[in-house]
């Protein structure tokens, strides 16, 4: 075996530090990088140009992985999940990070769109102001079909109406639920609807694991771990949010340019029609089962898995929103 060279062109300063210790973890250095923590041996104060170059390189690396992940996600149904499960991960954004980035971008745009469409503020014309001595208007009456003991939550042009208690409700809980219902019915600024919208991202973090659990049951004998199904749905819902972002941006474009309305409508319809097809193709690609078996599990996932998970999470969404009013 040849001895370690004492000099190698421009790296003699690095070799001189081979016998030193890592400034980060204290491990013995044996090259240009620490074998324990990975930090470079050369930790001198960098120049301004080096700081800018490192920042640009890190930013480009993150962006390139994100764009590569999104392109793979869009072009190859199930391809990104398969590559991740096969261990090909260095070139792609991790599943949860991809989901988080796409969901944050979607809900940000969704909030902006909702603010732009919020024109439900109550305005009172001068001639409609109450006059001293005038008769008070009749109080709105509840629909006759709604009983005093029925639990319901509904809304129309007159606002919200609700009842969250019945004869079996605990007295302490009854007081809190009645107070919450009163707040909802007296809400004229849309705060309840905004609270629901604000809680939807949290609802999705419950919804996706529930659907993954249903998928685990559907593929019980396929030898798949639960986390594999979770990764599949993280990728799937990341695409859902990306699709929603495209739909919102197209709607804004149609609002700015009137003649784009019909083309945009056609593209939006095509996108939402293709999404169920994408899910089926992704299931075929990731789980590698024949068309008949995949079709049965696809229908079961849609009618039972998504429905049950959505019902549970929506009920939880309203319960949390009411409890935190």
pLDDT in tens, 84-124: 999 988 889 899 989 988 988 888 888 787 665 554 444 44
The residue ranges of every structural domain in the chain are 95-116+192-323
Confidence grade of residue 144 (pLDDT, cut at 50, 70, 90): very low
Q: Which pLDDT score, from 0 to 100, does residue 1 have?
A: 42
Q: Which pLDDT score, from 0 to 100, does residue 18 have?
A: 52
Q: Radius of gyration of the chain from Cα atoms?
A: 29
What span, in angstroms and rounded, lies between the C-alpha atoms of 316 and 280? 28
Across the chain, mean pLDDT equals: 76
Average pLDDT rounded to a whole number, residues 145-160: 61
Residue 46 φ/ψ, nearest 5 degrees: -75, 160
Average pLDDT rounded to a whole number, residues 72-80: 93
**Would you say 253 and 260 are in contact if contact means Cβ atoms under 8 Å apart?**
yes
Q: Which pLDDT score, from 0 to 100, does residue 153 have?
A: 67
199-249 pLDDT, tens digit per residue, is: 777 788 888 888 899 899 889 888 889 999 999 999 999 999 999 898 888
What span, in angstroms and rounded, lies between the C-alpha atoms of 217 and 269? 32
Strand partners, 211: none
Confidence grade of residue 41 (pLDDT, cut at 50, 70, 90): confident
pTM: 0.66
What span, in angstroms and rounded, lies between the C-alpha atoms of 80 and 72? 6
Q: Which pLDDT score, from 0 to 100, does residue 258 have?
A: 82
């Amino acid at each position: 075996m040849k001895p370690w060279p004492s000099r190698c062109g421009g790296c003699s300063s690095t070799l001189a530090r081979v016998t030193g210790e890592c400034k980060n973890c204290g491990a013995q250095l044996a090259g240009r990088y620490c074998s324990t923590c990975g930090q470079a041996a050369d930790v001198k104060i960098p120049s301004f140009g080096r700081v800018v170059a490192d920042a640009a390189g890190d930013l480009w690396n993150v962006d390139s992985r994100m764009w590569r992940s999104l392109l793979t996600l869009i072009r190859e149904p199930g391809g990104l999940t398969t590559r991740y499960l096969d261990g090909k991960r260095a070139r792609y954004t991790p599943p949860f990070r991809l989901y988080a980035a796409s969901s944050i971008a979607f809900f940000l745009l969704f909030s902006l769109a909702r603010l732009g469409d919020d024109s439900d503020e109550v305005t009172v014309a001068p001639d409609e102001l109450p006059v001293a001595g005038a008769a008070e208007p009749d109080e709105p009456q509840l629909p006759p079909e709604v009983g005093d003991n029925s639990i319901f939550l509904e809304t129309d042009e007159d606002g919200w109406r609700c009842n969250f208690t019945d004869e079996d409700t605990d007295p302490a809980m009854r007081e809190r639920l009645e107070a919450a219902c009163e707040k909802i019915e007296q809400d004229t600024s849309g705060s309840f609807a905004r609270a629901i919208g604000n809680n939807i991202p949290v609802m999705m973090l419950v919804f996706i694991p529930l659907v993954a659990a249903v998928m685990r049951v559907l593929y019980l004998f396929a030898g798949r771990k639960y986390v594999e199904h979770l990764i599949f749905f993280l990728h799937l819902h990341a695409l859902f949010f990306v699709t929603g972002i495209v739909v919102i941006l197209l709607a804004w474009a149609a609002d700015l340019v009137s003649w784009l309305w019909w083309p945009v409508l056609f593209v939006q319809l095509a996108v939402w029609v293709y999404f169920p097809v994408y899910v089926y193709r992704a299931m075929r690609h990731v789980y590698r089962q024949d068309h008949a078996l995949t079709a049965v599990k696809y229908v079961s996932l849609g009618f039972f898995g998504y429905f049950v998970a959505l019902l549970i999470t929506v009920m939880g969404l309203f319960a949390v929103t009411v409890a935190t009013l």
